[in-house]
Amino acid sequence: MLTKIKFHHLLLIGALALGSCQKEYVKPKPPTPPPPPGAVKFAADIVPICTTHWSVAGCHDAAGGAPVNLSPSTAHAELFSNSEIDTANDDDSNLYKRMTDAANPMPPAGLLPSEAAKVLAWIKDGAKNN
């Protein structure tokens, strides 16, 4: 003999089924540790960041007209001649402050936290043209 299942029976079964589920919480990834001193090289690590985020965008290149030209051949000299880097006050350098400004970051989008960490590590290591 078949019996009719009432709506409130379905609700009760559903509540029991959901109540028995365990939640799996996603643990946030720990922050990426900064690279060790000397590990970040200007040509291999910083120039690609400049190219990807600034000079390719058409603003900070030879034709863009911005006060700092971040084309690969001029980026290092430009960053120093325009006081963008202060190796004595590394995380207070204009370059790093502008990159990590929450209200008005430069570049406006797309810079990864790991890239900002590389730039800071490079500045802390003396911002060498290596």
In a domain, residue 17? The reply is no
Is 3 among the domain residues? no
Residue 120 belongs to some domain of the structure: yes
Q: Computed from CA positions of residues 103, 107, 108, 112, in that sequence, does the dihedral angle turn out positive or negative?
A: negative
Residue 47 lies in a domain: yes
pTM for the model stands at 0.67
Asked if the structure places residue 26 within a domain, the reply is no
Residue 119 in domain: yes
| 10 is a domain residue | no
Q: What is the pLDDT of residue 91?
A: 76
Tens digit of each residue's pLDDT (9 = 90 or more) over 81-123? 878 887 787 778 888 888 888 888 887 677 888 898 899 999 9
Predicted pLDDT at 103: 86
Q: What is the secondary structure of 100-118 as a DSSP string? A: T-SSS-SSSS---HHHHHH
Domain count, the chain: 1
Q: What is the domain range of residue 76?
A: 42-124
Residue 87 pLDDT: 79
Residues 6 or more apart from 43 whose CB is under 8 A from it?
Answer: 130
Domain membership of residue 11 (yes or no) is: no
Q: Does residue 16 carry a pLDDT above 70?
A: no
Report the distance separating Cα 25 and Cα 130, nearest Å.
44
Closest residue by Cα to residue 124 from 32, 40, 47, 54: 40
